[in-house]
Amino acid sequence: MSEANRDKRITLAWTGASGAPYGLRLLECLLAANYHVYLLVSSAARVVLATEHGLKLPAGPDAAKATLVKHLGCAPEGLEVCGKEDWFSPVASGSAAPKQMVICPCSAGTLASVAHGLSDNLLERAADVVLKERGQLLMVVRETPFSTLHLENMLKLSQMGATIMPAAPGFYHQPASIDDLVDFMVARILDHLGVEQGLVPRWGYDQRK
Ligand SMILES: Cc1cc2nc3c(=O)[nH]c(=O)nc-3n(C[C@H](O)[C@H](O)[C@H](O)COP(=O)(O)O)c2cc1C
């Protein structure tokens, strides 16, 4: 990869919280925006993806990539699926990792692991690296209700610089479909990342027309 493209790299992690369609749509948008995406998928995320979206993602990174490329109809170049213990991946080191990472959806389990720096697999390590390098970590947490422990973990991560974005779509854009609700969340995530998007009307602009 050329140096010029290095700033268009991002780490995307899918974990086992409900909300697989958010993760898929976000991947689609990042690839469409010409990002090089390092994708990390937990075992539980694969179960949720099959349950909520009917998409069976193989455990092996190469097979998972082939399945996603076919499913999304995207070019293969921008997508790099990383193995759970691929410690030689760029995302495992502050010397090479992208400065931005999104965990979407983010389970309460991964929230806890990241809050306590466990780094027990590549996904947790990648988040730890972004935090220590003072990069941008967005965590799209999904659980309800939140326990005191969940709230404490979110507070701890927020104080460390992570952005906690609960998967809580609004309804003021009058969604007509599930896709509209998914796009609401994905639009907010892309806005935070600084990725141009036109998925939903912006507050105060389109309403006034
Ligand atoms: C269909 C399904 C939905 C789930 N939804 C959630 C959820 O919304 N939030 C959550 O924190 N855990 C949820 N879980 C439980 C997590 O997947 C489980 O705690 C898992 O160990 C998380 O592992 P991970 O963080 O490594 O992905 C769900 C599990 C399944 C199978």
Cα torsion angle, 63, 68, 69, 75, sign: negative
The end-to-end CA distance of the chain, in Å, is 44
Q: Would the CB of 197 count as within 6 Å of ligand 1?
A: no
Instruction: Note the pLDDT of residue 205.
Output: 72
Secondary structure (3-state) at 149: helix
Structure tokens at 186: 């994905």
The residue whose CA is least distant from atom 19 of ligand 1 is 109
The residue whose CA is least distant from atom 28 of ligand 1 is 17
Q: Would the CB of 153 count as within 6 Å of ligand 1?
A: no
pTM, entire model:
0.96
Give dist(CA 36, CA 4) in Å, integer: 12
Instruction: Note the pLDDT of residue 209.
Output: 54
The per-residue DSSP string of 22-65 comes to: HHHHHHHHHHHTT-EEEEEE-HHHHHHHHHHH-----SSHHHHH
19 is in an annotated binding site: no
Instruction: Note the pLDDT of residue 94.
Output: 97
pLDDT over 90 (residue 4): no
CATH topology of domain 3-208: Rossmann fold (3.40.50)
Q: Match 């105060």 to its residue by tokens.
A: 204
pLDDT digits (tens, 9 = 90+) for 144-171: 999 999 999 999 999 999 999 999 999 9
Of 107, 116, 141, the one to substitute when testing ligand 1's pocket (max ligand atoms within 8 A of C-beta) is: 107
Burial degree of 3 (CB within 10 A; 0-12, 13-18, 19+): exposed
Domain boundaries, given as residue ranges, for the chain: 3-208
pLDDT digits (tens, 9 = 90+) for 175-207: 999 999 999 999 999 999 999 999 998 888 765
The residue whose CA is least distant from atom 17 of ligand 1 is 16
Instruction: Report phi then psi at 129, rounded to 5.
Output: -65, -45
- Residues 96, 142, 139, CA angle at the centre, nearest 5°? 25
pLDDT digits (tens, 9 = 90+) for 30-84: 999 999 999 999 999 999 999 999 999 999 999 999 999 999 999 999 999 999 9
Instruction: Note the pLDDT of residue 206.
Output: 60
